[in-house]
Amino acid sequence: QLQASGGGLVQPGGSLRLSCAASGSTFSNYVVGWFRQAPGKEREFVAVIKWSGDSFYYADGVKGRFTISRDNAEKTAYLQMNSLKPEDTAVYYCAARNTHFIGPLYGTDTYYDYWGQGTQVTVSS
C-alpha cells in the first residue's frame, strides 16, 4: 500500500517535496514512479527510480527542476520539486512495480502494480 503526501499551494518559483510512504516489508524490491494528472488531461509520467536509487528517469518537462529519491530503510520515496510553474498544477500519484530494474514501459501507468492516492499540488500566485 502506498500513501502520497506533501502537496499544497505554492507560488510560482517555489518548492515542494512529495513523499510516498509504503507499507509492507519488501519496499526495496520495487521500482517507484511518480505521475500527475491535471484537470481535463490524461495522467502523465513524471519520474521513476530503481530499487537501489542509482538509476532514474524524468519527463522532459521536469528535468533539472524535479529530483526523485528514495530511502528504503524508511520505506519512502520522494519527489523534490523546485522552480515550480503553474503548469505543474496537478494531482500527483506515486506508483510501484515489483521489479528491481526499470523496464522500457516505465512511462506508462499500466507498468505499475500499485498506486497511492493522489496529493494535490497547486502552483499559483
pLDDT of residue 25: 65
Query: Would you say residue 27 has pLDDT above 90?
Result: no
pLDDT of residue 112: 96
3-state secondary structure labels for all residues of 34-72: EEEECCCCCCEEEEEECCCCCCEEECHHHCCCEEEEEEC
Query: Would you say residue 24 has pLDDT above 80?
Result: no
Query: Would you say residue 34 has pLDDT above 70?
Result: yes
Question: What rounded mean pLDDT belongs to the chain?
Answer: 94
For β-strands 76-81 and 114-115, DSSP reports them as: unpaired
Grid cell 505543474 is found at: 88
Res. 26 pLDDT band, cuts 50 70 90: confident
Res. 100 pLDDT band, cuts 50 70 90: confident
Average pLDDT over residues 76-101: 96
Cβ(73)–Cβ(3) below 8 Å: no
HSE-CB at 86 with a 13 A cutoff on CA atoms is 2
Query: Would you say residue 23 has pLDDT above 90?
Result: no
Model pLDDT for residues 65-83, shown as the tens digit of each residue: 999 999 999 999 999 999 9
